[in-house]
Amino acid sequence: MLRADTYPNLVIEPLSIWKFKSNTDNVCVLINLTIAGCTRQETISFNITQQGATVLQCKGVHKISLKRYALAAPKKPLEPYR
């Protein structure tokens, strides 16, 4: 299971960031991701757009495997909140 009662938070610790010369709108970030007390390194890619003089907007999607974090998906679908 997800063990959210014991580990209610996930922790993201950035380790390094780099930009590709060939695509200046993308950056990669190496992170330590801790879920349910298990820490693994992940690399996340972001697309960056400038929003004004001092703001950068970062968008990205990163899929993780629950098995890498010694977790199992719930067998019964979660019921929606009412």
Return the domain boundaries, the chain.
11-69
Give dist(CA 3, CA 21) in Å, integer.
Answer: 41
pTM of the model: 0.75
Tens of pLDDT, residue by residue over 20-63, are 888 778 999 999 999 999 999 999 999 999 999 999 899 999 99
- Looking at the predicted structure, is the pLDDT value of residue 18 above 70? yes
Query: What distance in Å separates the CA atoms of residue 35 and residue 29, rounded to the nearest whole number?
Result: 18
Amino acid at 29: V
Specify whether the backbone of 22 is left (phi greater than 0), alpha (psi in -120 to 50) or beta: alpha
More confident residue, 80 or 7: 7
